[in-house]
Amino acid sequence: MWELFTHASNLFFSVSLCLMLLLGIFECLLLVLGASSQGFLDQFIPDDIGDSKSLGIDLETDQSLFVQFLDWLYLGRIPVLIWLIIFLTVYALFGFAMQALYFSFTQQYLPIWIAAPASLFLCMPLVRIVAATIAKILPKDETTAIYSDELIGRTALIILGEARQNYPAQAKVLDQFGQTHYILVEPELNITFSQGQEVVLTQKTVNGFQAIQL
């Protein structure tokens, strides 16, 4: 077993395991001192990842494939330090398991230039599964942010101008948390909404919402 950890072909996996332990020890020391590395690590995560989806913002057209891949791995949805520990642990254990299995059949280890990238590629689904599981367990900050689609079916009040098809007017609407949202509304049918009129939101448009008379 010791040879599995110390063999040159498994160097990347041994280093990953050691880094995971060092990160854990370092974070524990910071916690004892009343500090944390979390804020420092979070600044390196692109703003597009994670919470933007919970705000109802559609970023699919703007996100690069790399950012979408990071989001798929749940990076940014859990604390970065925890994600790093998960990644290093899964990568190391997967690599050791792969090498041990290969050794049981051939009595030798895969070369490091094959084992390291192969393990990196193959362990990613496991990293995502573990990160997704941890994300469900970790306590989340409560938020009253909603998807904009959740306003559909609610009653809005026209507060500025007259709304005609393709010429929306400003309206306000309360969400389920009692928060006021100011939106643009146009009629779904060929009618006019006057200022002070209440309407029911029916669907989203590029600029706002369509509505029908209350």
pLDDT at 54: 40
CA dist., res. 197 & res. 97, Å (int) = 67
CA 133 to mean position of chain CA atoms = 13
Return per-residue pLDDT of the chain as tens, 214 residues: 778 888 889 999 999 999 999 988 887 777 777 655 555 555 555 555 554 444 333 444 445 677 778 888 888 778 888 889 999 999 999 999 999 999 999 999 999 999 999 999 999 999 999 999 988 887 655 555 566 778 889 999 999 889 998 889 999 998 887 888 889 999 998 899 999 999 999 998 888 899 998 8
pLDDT at 52: 42
pLDDT at 38: 55
pLDDT at 171: 92
- Please report, for the chain, the start and end positions of each structural domain, with discontinuous segments joined by +: 2-137, 148-213
The H or E element containing residue 110 is none
pLDDT at 67: 74
Indicate the fold that domain 148-213 takes in CATH: OB fold (Dihydrolipoamide Acetyltransferase, E2P) (2.40.50)
Helices and strands in the chain, H and E counts? 7, 5
